[in-house]
């Protein structure tokens, strides 16, 4: 809401004067025409009118001069008053917009694998803009649009995505229904994934690989909460699709930690559908329970279960059978006196994988029947208060295993160096699907909504994944 500058208001005053003068001039012209053929009896009346008009003109000139002087000499006080007047003016002039809300967030980072510096990458990982609309007191709409990796085109890896698109309708003060494409209420990060809300440059591995993030499904959800701090979400949504599972990757699906997160190699990353022409033959259900009754505490858990779209059976082979995906997690977060502790455990299972794994012998990438991970994180949210800035150091230990058990066939990982890409001479080890990761770093809050991040991550198994990251995040 920028206030018009003085020259513009001066112009406005001129317009006003012109508008006032025009009818007067017209009136004068009409009178003059009438005067051209004067009946002798009306001569005096005409003279009188001309005089009147002249007087009016003088008055208008004076008024114009006064207006111009006023604008030109507008004291600074009226400029200072502008911000006070602005919200009121905006509120009355933008009546339709008060139901609309706009927000956004995004993050850019530099990641530097310390052992393989040639794989350093800088990326505008995501730029997200949200639009909401309040239809009435009970009905609201929320949506988010995301561009990943800065450029989305047929020749780039970037993606343009609708990340959320849903309606909430309040039924009672304690209960509401949600419909559309929405975030799944799993773990600590998925529903609160803005970069200002998590520690570390990249999202943690457990809530990226075991619980996919940003995980959303299309469907319905009933949400209820009580003043005691207990809340429940119960939903029916689209589910996983294993029909396109890649049993025969030509190259390792990822070669460093950043690719591990980005390339969709984890079981549910590879099979969630994001409501993009999603196969909807099997509905999935979920239940999430959270308790936030004590200030600073959040404990909860969630369960998701549903049949996935099966891997097509090989010719002359028996049908694959029902492949049920079950995912559950438990989480806790305790924030007190500046200390911020959190823990998440997540476990996934896929049923009836033996048949299709056996039908693809020697695969380096069979479908796991179980995968899990957990992390423990401690941060000092009130760490260092540098005047208006805040530095929050943190440490996180996590373990992830993308395939803790297999039915039918275990992964046949090629030993030794393998080609990592079609580029000649590009060789390396096929990565292992489990690791123990320590992350040490700090979030530096320029404002509560603008954060600079720094961290160092060590990998116990895939040692070459060890990296140093620098990030910038914001949300508004």
Partner 1 sequence: MRAAPWLLAPVAALSMPAYATSYLTIEEAQRIMFPGTTLTPAALTLTEAQAREIERRAGVPVPGRTLHLWRAPDGAAFIVDEVIGKHEAIGYALGINADGRVRQVEILDYREAYGWEVRNEKWRRQFIGKGAADPVLLDRDIRNLSGATLSSRHVTEGVRRLIATYAVAVK
Torsions phi, psi for 55 (to 5 deg):
-60, -45
* Interaction of residue 157 with partner 1, rule CB under 8 A: no
Which of 4, 7, 38, 338 binds partner 1 (CB under 8 A)? It is: 338
The interface region with partner 1, picked from 29-37, 76-84, 208-216, 413-421 by CB under 8 A, is 76-84
The stretch near partner 1 (CB under 8 A) out of 80-88, 354-362, 365-373, 412-420 is: 80-88
In the bound state with partner 1, the residue whose beta carbon lies nearer, of 40 and 80, is 80
Confirm or reject binding of residue 76 to partner 1 (CB under 8 A). no
Q: Does 3 bind partner 1 (CB under 8 A)?
A: no
Q: Which range in 17-25, 115-123, 292-300, 353-361 contacts partner 1 by CB under 8 A?
A: 292-300
> Is residue 384 a contact residue for partner 1 (CB under 8 A)?
no
* Candidate list 140, 204, 365, 466; residue touching partner 1; CB under 8 A: 140
x/- map, 170-189, partner 1, by CB under 8 A: x--x--x-x---------x-
Stretch that binds partner 1, among 96-104, 109-117, 209-217, 277-285 (CB under 8 A): 96-104
Question: Rule CB under 8 A: is residue 296 a binding residue for partner 1?
Answer: yes
Taking the complex as a whole, the smallest distance from the CB of residue 332 to partner 1 amounts, in Å, to 9
Per-residue binder mask for partner 1 (CB under 8 A), 202-231, x = binder: ---------------------x-x-x-x-x
Q: Nearer to partner 1 by C-beta: 7 or 83?
A: 83
- Among residues 33, 36, 73, 88, the one that binds partner 1 under rule CB under 8 A: 88
* Whether 252 contacts 430, CB under 8 Å: yes
Q: Considering the rule CB under 8 A, would residue 191 count as an interface residue with partner 1?
A: yes
Q: Rule CB under 8 A: is residue 71 a binding residue for partner 1?
A: no
Q: Which residues of the chain form contacts with partner 1 (CB under 8 A)?
A: 1, 80-81, 84, 87-88, 90-92, 94, 97-98, 100-103, 130, 132, 134, 136-138, 140, 142, 168, 170, 173, 176, 178, 188, 191-192, 197, 223, 225, 227, 229, 231, 290, 292-298, 333, 335-336, 338, 340, 381-382, 448-449, 475-476
């Amino acid at each position: 809401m920028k206030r018009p500058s003085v020259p513009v208001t001066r112009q406005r005053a001129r317009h006003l004067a012109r508008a006032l003068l025009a009818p007067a001039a017209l009136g004068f012209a009409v009178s003059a025409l009438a005067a051209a053929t004067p009946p002798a009896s009306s001569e005096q009346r005409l003279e009188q009118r001309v005089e009147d008009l002249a007087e009016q003109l003088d008055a208008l000139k004076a008024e114009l001069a006064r207006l111009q002087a006023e604008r030109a000499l507008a004291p600074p006080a009226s400029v200072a008053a502008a911000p006070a007047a602005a919200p009121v003016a905006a509120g009355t002039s933008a009546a339709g917009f008060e139901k609309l809300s706009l927000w956004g967030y995004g993050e850019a980072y530099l990641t530097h694998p310390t052992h393989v510096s040639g794989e350093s990458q800088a990326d505008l990982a995501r730029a997200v803009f949200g639009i909401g609309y309040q239809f009435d007191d009970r009905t609201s709409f929320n949506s988010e649009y995301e561009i990943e990796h800065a450029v989305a085109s047929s020749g780039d890896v970037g993606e343009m995505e609708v990340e959320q698109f849903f309606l909430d309708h309040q039924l009672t003060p304690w209960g509401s229904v949600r419909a559309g494409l929405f975030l799944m209420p799993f773990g600590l990060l998925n529903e609160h994934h803005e970069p200002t809300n998590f520690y570390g440059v990249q999202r943690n591995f457990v809530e990226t690989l075991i619980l996919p993030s940003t995980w959303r499904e299309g469907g319905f959800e009933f949400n209820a909460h009580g003043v005691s701090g207990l809340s429940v979400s119960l939903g029916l949504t689209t589910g996983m699709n294993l029909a396109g599972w890649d049993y025969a990757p030509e190259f390792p699906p990822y070669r460093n930690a950043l690719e591990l997160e980005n390339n969709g190699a984890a079981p549910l990353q590879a099979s969630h559908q994001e409501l993009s022409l999603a196969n909807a033959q099997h509905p999935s259900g979920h239940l999430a329970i959270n308790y936030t009754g004590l200030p600073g505490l959040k404990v909860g858990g969630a369960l998701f279960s549903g049949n996935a779209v099966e891997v097509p059976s090989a010719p002359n082979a028996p049908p694959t059978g029902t492949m049920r995906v079950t995912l559950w997690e438990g989480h806790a977060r305790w924030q007190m006196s500046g200390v911020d502790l959190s823990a998440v455990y997540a476990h996934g299972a896929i049923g009836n994988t033996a048949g299709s794994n056996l039908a693809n012998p020697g695969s380096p990438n069979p479908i796991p029947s179980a995968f899990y991970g957990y992390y423990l994180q401690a941060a000092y949210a009130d760490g260092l208060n540098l005047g208006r800035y805040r530095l929050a150091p943190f440490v996180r230990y996590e373990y992830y295993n993308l395939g803790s058990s297999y039915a039918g066939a275990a992964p046949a990982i090629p030993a030794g160096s393998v080609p990592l890409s079609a580029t000649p001479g590009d060789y390396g080890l096929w990565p292992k699907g489990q690791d123990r990761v320590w992350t040490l770093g700090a979030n530096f809050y320029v404002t509560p909504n603008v954060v600079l991040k720094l961290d160092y991550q060590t990998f116990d198994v895939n040692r070459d994944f060890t990296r140093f990251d620098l990030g910038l995040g914001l949300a508004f």
